[in-house]
Amino acid sequence: MTTAPAVSAARDTVAIRSQNLCRHYRMGETLIRAVDGVSLEVRAGEFVALLGSSGSGKSSVLNLIAGLDRPTSGSVVVQERDLAQLSREELAKYRLHVVGMVFQSFNLIPSMTLQENVELPLRFAEVDRSRRQTLARDALERVGLRARMEHRPSELSGGEQQRAALARALINRPQLLLADEPTGNLDSHTGTEILDMVREFNRELGMTVVMVTHERALAERYAERMIFLADGKLIDDRPNAAAALDLRAEGGES
Amino acid sequence: MKIPDLTELALRNLRESLLRNSLTTIGISVGVASLVAMLSLGTGLQQLFSRRLAKSGLFDTVLVSSRRELRGMGREEERKGPTPGESRILDEPARLEIERLPNVTEAYPDIRFVTELRYEDKPHLTMISALPQSAKSNDAFDGMQGTFFSSDNEAAVILQKSFAEELLGKTPPLGAAEPSVAELAKPLLGKELTMRYAQRQAAPATQTPLANEPAPSDGSVTSAAYSVVSREQKLRIVGISDLDPESMRGPTRAKVFLPLKLAESLHVMLPTDLREISRAASDQPVYSSISVRVKNPAQVEGVEDAIKKMGFTTFSILDASNSLRQVFRVLYAFLGIFGSLALTVASIGIVNTLVMAILERRREIGIMKAIGASDADVKKLFFAEAGAMGILGGIVGVVLGWAIGQIINLGINIYLKSQSVPPEHFWAVPLWLVVFSIIFAFLVSLVSGLYPASRAAKLDPVQALRYE
Ligand SMILES: Nc1ncnc2c1ncn2[C@@H]1O[C@H](COP(=O)(O)OP(=O)(O)OP(=O)(O)O)[C@@H](O)[C@H]1O
Ligand SMILES: [Mg+2]
């Protein structure tokens, strides 16, 4: 990354604020409360882990923050934008420019080469072709896949695919990176590699990161704060002392 | 997304499920091909008929006859209008009046009579008609052997092909190959014919020379009486015409043509002379009909109306081609409906293919939305795919339709050749049809894409991404 890090910007400003956030699904007679009154705050530049058992509503919360889904009630405000007030069109713009997403299953488009996959958000953003190619190349370079850019996702390992997905998520320089179990399909070594990269972006670019994970160990290693969900409710929200130490240690190293 | 990106992505997606999309596209091409085939057959036939009519050379001609002259033009005669008593006589003043009408280039009397022509001492009875010098440009004389009259009073004749056959005794049996015009012309061009005719002379009969007899204009002639003298005139054959320049006249059409001035100077006894005898105050000629040439075919209708107002009956090829146009409009509609039907079936194929594509690419659509594609982007992408199939199918279809047409043309012409009939184009693919077909296929495919595209756009990304 050649540009100067914007870390300092405003560690104190609130990047994400949800208030009494609910997402209910009606299945015939029963009401499923996937998200049930979650209020949380994430500061700009923070690395937060969202933990909880399967079905606790982690992905649902993440999708609401990402603007992929709309809350049943309550509000999400991301960098002064009340997502509930945005039109579908505006939500798409928000996802395009403000949010970058990474998934457990990588979600690269199989018929496209890595370069084309990484370029895709730039197409939606109507960036010129020549500039698009340079940006895509640079992004792949950054995740160490420059040499593989003509390959299709199926020709790559899981770790490489997730790196490409990361490059795609970051291509429009989002302020917010939302990762839904980014290491869920990877072995622990590769997972660490990916999260190292995420942390690097978090620190260098001052990007706010919200990561959903099952693995307590990973959260403890990378997140500054851990938020626990159960049955759609926020049950615990605590800073991660270990990561704070780690951060200081690494800061000292470099 | 920008158009080039849309096109690129659409084409890439089409390539991804190549077989299915090819089949759909082929469906569209077959639809377009049948549309093109149907309409080009219609166009071809219409052009063929129009060509035939144009060659009759009478697109810019109006025939005028007195309403009394009921037999004048055979079956096309308009029989309504004032009773014979009220109608005007078609005489020289009437002709001059018609000639002065706007947009009329000339009005000349139709001198036509049946008389005897001798060739190598054999008599042939035939209808003779006079042509003005301006008829030279008539398309009917395009394929003529020999030359047109060099002057308006040359003692010359042009024969119609069928009369030439008669003179040579070569009338072919029905269905057999016709001899070519050149073949007929060789022994006839430059030869002489002798025409025997009845000359009308004002009484008292004087043997004035024929050619320069001035018409009595002092009005002093009190009697309408005249005598009839039998005369002969030698005529040189200068041309043999292939087509029948008088095809629209039906039963009264002539097979032998004289220069107009020559014909006038002969004062041939005409059938009308007898009938108009009580009305024509002098021996001023009374015409059975007059041909009026109009500056351009578009003005024919106006001129016809003006002449009708003067109290005459008119007939033009327009009347004939109007009904022909009507027939073709119906034919077009029919052929168009069948072609469109095929295209409609093809468009259902598009809907089907795209709906399948949505199901298949559910996840892909979800991904695109998750990384920032708007509803409009997704919609446009599906539209682009539909449109691309439409345009590709349209182009292939036009080529296919054209090829079918060429093959049929070829087949028919091989048959025509075996029948010694000159080749004809039954099949015409005009540029407008090419453009229209491709645009039509494009529009039809866009309409077909309407439902799948909006369905794809409405897809919930969370649901789409939820399951592997
Ligand atoms: N479309 C839906 N219709 C009905 N119920 C749903 C729907 N989407 C999610 N749910 C329910 O909401 C709850 C939360 O789901 P969510 O995917 O957020 O859980 P999660 O914490 O991400 O689980 P996992 O760790 O397994 O990914 C689950 O009980 C799920 O069954
Ligand atoms: Mg989940």
Residue A138 counted as domain residue: yes
Model confidence over A49-59: pLDDT tens digits?
A: 999 999 999 99
pLDDT of residue B218 exceeding 50, the answer is: no
- Closest residue CA from atom 30 of ligand 1: A55
pLDDT (mean) for B202-224:
47
pLDDT of residue B73 exceeding 50, the answer is: no
pLDDT (mean) for B124-128:
87
| Position A118 confidence tier, pLDDT thresholds 50, 70, 90 | very high
**Chain B nearest C-alpha distance from A150 (Å):** 15
pLDDT of residue B333: 83
Residue A59 counted as domain residue: no
* Percentage above 90 pLDDT, chain B: 11
Q: Which residues in chain A are closer than 8 Å to B9, comparing Cβ atoms?
A: 123
Q: Using the atom order of ligand 1, give the atom closest to the CA of residue A57.
A: 18
The chain-wide mean pLDDT, for chain A, equals 89
pLDDT of residue A249: 52
Nearest ligand atom owner, CA of A27: 1
| Position B75 confidence tier, pLDDT thresholds 50, 70, 90 | very low
pLDDT (mean) for B345-374:
89
Model confidence over B428-437: pLDDT tens digits?
A: 778 888 898 8
A30 CB within 6 A, ligand 1: no
* Percentage above 70 pLDDT, chain B: 76
Chains A, B: CB contacts under 8 A, how many? 72
Residue A140 counted as domain residue: yes
Mutating which of A59, A104, A111 best tests the B interface, going by the most B Cβ atoms within 10 A?
Answer: A111
Which range in A86-90, B109-113, B264-268, B294-298 is most confidently predicted, on average pLDDT? A86-90
pLDDT (mean) for B228-249:
78
**What domain range is A163 assigned to?**
108-173
Least Cα distance to A179 among A190, A189, A194, A193 occurs for: A194
* Cross-chain Cβ contact B367/A107 below 8 Å: yes
- Model-level pTM greater than 0.80? no
Instruction: Read off the amino acid at residue A41.
Output: E
Mutating which of B374, B454, B459 best tests the A interface, going by the most A Cβ atoms within 10 A?
Answer: B374
| Position B399 confidence tier, pLDDT thresholds 50, 70, 90 | very high
* Cross-chain Cβ contact B374/A93 below 8 Å: yes
pLDDT (mean) for B328-338:
80
pLDDT of residue A244: 57
- Closest residue CA from atom 17 of ligand 1: A59
pLDDT of residue B221: 41
Model confidence over A201-252: pLDDT tens digits?
A: 999 889 999 999 988 999 999 999 999 999 999 999 999 877 655 555 554 4
Residue A62 counted as domain residue: no
The chain-wide mean pLDDT, for chain B, equals 78
pLDDT of residue B54: 58
pLDDT (mean) for A82-88:
92
> Is pLDDT larger for residue B232 or for residue B85?
B232
Task: Please indicate if any CB of chain B lies within 8 Å of the CB of A63.
Answer: yes
What is the number of structural domains in chain A? 1
Model confidence over B368-387: pLDDT tens digits?
A: 999 999 999 999 999 999 99
For helices B18-55 and B375-418, angle between their N-to-C axes, nearest 10 degrees = 50
By mean pLDDT, which of A46-55, B79-88, B282-291, B400-409 is the weakest?
Answer: B79-88
